[in-house]
Structure 1
C-alpha cells in the first residue's frame, strides 16, 4: 500500500485549476516515525498546545491507521497516491504546506525553518516535474499551500499582513506572497483574505485559509466567519458563492477542522465521520460524502486538505 516517491518512473505534469477537479495524483503525508510529542516550547499551533496540556496528544500508531485508511479510500477512486520518504523522528503529516500547484506550475513553498527538511522527503518526486513547470518561491515570499486556493479565474490567498507578522508563529503567508502570485498570474483575479491568528487559543486562530474556508462541489463553500479579520471579506465570499450555497461553521467547529475537508471530484467530498452537521448539509446539496476516521490527525491543527498535496486534477 505504501507508495514511496522513489518509485516514480515517468514525468509528472502538474495541473490544478481549482479545488474540486477530478483528482488523479496526490501526495499524502505520513505519520510514520512522526517522533515523540513536542515540548511546550517546541509546539507552534494552538490545537497541539491544547492537547499537550490535556494529555490527549495523538499517538503515532493511531495517526498511521487513519492515514492508511485515507490512502485506501483515495486509491478506490483510482487516484495515484504518493507518500514522502520517511524521515526519522520527523512530523511529515501535513504535506499541503511544503508545496502547491496552480495551473501547470508546482511551487516550492517557503515554510517555517523548523520544517524545511520535510521538502527533502519529496525531492525524488518533484525531480520528475519538468523544469519549466517547477518554481521556487523567492526568499522573501513566505507562503504555505494551505493558504493558496485556485478557483477558476480566481486565486484565493489567506494571509497575515499586520506589523507583528514576524512575531506571529501561526502567520505563514505574507504580503510578499500576495504580490508575487499576483504578478505570476496576471490573468487571474487574486483575492487575499486577512486571517485571525493566535498561538494559544484554537478557536481564535485560522492557521491557514483552508482552516476557515473551503469551496466544494461546483459553486458551494464552507466558511467560518470568525476566521477572518475583516467582515467585508466574509461578505465578499457570501456574495461570490451566494448565501444559499454556503455552510457556516462556528469558531469551535473551525478549531475542530470542520472546514478542512477534501474533494476528490465536484461530486465527491471526503470528510471526518464526526462532522454530522456538515456532512448532512453536504449530502443535502447532492454531494457524495465519504466519511473516514481522522480525529487524531485533527489534534495537531490540520485535517484532510492539510495532509494532501494534489499534483494533477483532470478537467
Structure 2
C-alpha cells in the first residue's frame, strides 16, 4: 500500500476525493413498525414498497429490485474508479451478527452515517434507528486496516442511554458537513441530537474547528437532505428545509435552490468528486444543467432503488481521504 493510501484526512465536502468507502445493499426490516422507533423519512412512492418488508429482507420480497440496488452501487464504484478514486467496500453481515439482531432487524446500506471523517479524525457515531445501531460493524475491518496505522485519531461516541430511541448521544454522518475548520451539524431530532452535537464540539474545538449546529424541520433526517456544498462559493439548497437559512459561513454563497419535493427525492444528496465534478441522479437533470452552466462536469447514475430508502450518493459513500 502506498503512502498516499495510508493517509486519512477530509478537508472539505468538495476537496479531491481519493479514497472512499461505497456501501453494500443489505436490509432486514424490523418485525414491526413499533420496533423502528420512529418512521423512516422515505419518498411517498416508497411507503407501500417498504411496508411489505416488515420482518423480511428486502431481497426476499423484491429480488429484482435487490439486484438493481446492488447494480447501482457497483456502477457508482465503477464511475469513481474511472475518476481515479480508490474504492473500498464494507463486508457483509455475518450469520451470527444477523442472528444477534433479532426482531429489530439490521441494515448495511448507507455507510455515511455510522462513522465519519473530519480533518484527521475518524469518529464512530451512534445511530437512532435500532436496526442501524450495529451498522458500523461491517466497516470495522476497514477502519482497523486503514485508520489504526495512520496518524489520524480514531474515536467513538459514548454508548447511548437506554430507550427507544433514548437520550443518546446520537450523532450520524449524514448530519456532518465539513468545510475546512468549519463543521456543520444538522439537528432535526430524528438523527443527531443536541447531546451528540455538544460531544463533537467538545472533541473538535481544541483542534481549531468551529462546530455549528444547523436546525432542521423534524421530518428531515439529515443535513445532507437539505444542502450540498458543491465547491467554494456554490451550494445546492432547499430553503424550506433550513428554517434559519444557510449557516453564516456559507450564507453569501451562490445558491441553486430545490423544492421540498425535489429535496425529499434526494436532490441535495449528490456527491462531488472534486470541485469540478459532481454525481447526481438523472431525476435531477434540472439541477445538473444548472451545475453544467457553471462549468461543472455532471455524472448521472440512476439511483432510483437507493433513493427508496431515503438516501442517495452522499449517503452511499464515506471518504477516508479527501484532500487537494
TM-score using structure 2 length: 0.81
> What are the superposed Cα offsets for residues 90-146 of structure 1, whole Å, 9 maximum, x if unpaired?
431100001000000100011133212221111111112137610111234310000
User: How far does residue 155 in structure 1 lie from its aligned partner after superposition?
Assistant: 0.7
1:134 to 137, 154, 157: 154
Seen in structure 2, the aligned counterparts of structure 1 residues 155 and 68 have a Cα distance that, compared at 3 Å, is same
Moved more, 72-81 or 37-46: 37-46
Counterparts of 1:24-43 in structure 2, within 5 Å, are 24-31=18-25, 33-35=26-28, 40-41=33-34
Q: 1:63: how far off?
A: 0.4
State the secondary structure of the residue aligned to 1:274.
Answer: helix
How big is the alpha-carbon RMSD for the aligned residues of Structure 1 and Structure 2? 2.7
Distance in 2 between residues matched to 1:53 and 1:95, nearest whole Å: 25
Match for 2:202 among 167, 172, 183?
183
SS in 2 for 1:246: strand
Match of 2:48 among 40, 50, 53: 53
Q: Superposed, which structure 2 residues align to 1:147-226 within 5 Å? A: 147-160=175-188, 165=189, 171-186=190-205, 187-197=208-218, 205-226=219-240
Q: CA deviation at 1:52?
A: 3.4
Name the CA distance, whole Å, in 2 between partners of 1:242 and 1:9.
38
User: TM-score by structure 1 length?
Assistant: 0.83
**What's the secondary structure of 1:141's corresponding residue?**
coil
Q: Classify 1:99/1:256 alpha carbon distance in 2 versus 1 (closer, same or farther; 3 Å).
A: same
Aligned length: 287
Q: Which runs of 5+ in 1 are unaligned?
A: 1-6, 166-170, 198-204
**Cα distance in 2 for residues equivalent to 1:146 and 1:235:** 17
Cα distance in 1 for residues equivalent to 2:196 and 2:301: 34
| Distance in 2, Cα, partners of 1:156 & 1:117 | 25
Shift of 1:26: 0.8
> 256, 259, 274: which is aligned to 1:247?
256
- Using a 3 Å threshold, how does the CA distance of structure 1 residues 36 and 100 change in structure 2: closer, same or farther? closer
Residues 1-315 of structure 1: pairs in structure 2 closer than 5 A: 12-31=6-25, 33-35=26-28, 40-41=33-34, 44-47=39-42, 50-53=45-48, 59-87=65-93, 90-112=106-128, 113-128=130-145, 129-130=147-148, 133-139=153-159, 140-160=168-188, 165=189, 171-186=190-205, 187-197=208-218, 205-228=219-242, 230=243, 233-234=244-245, 236=247, 240-242=250-252, 245-315=254-324
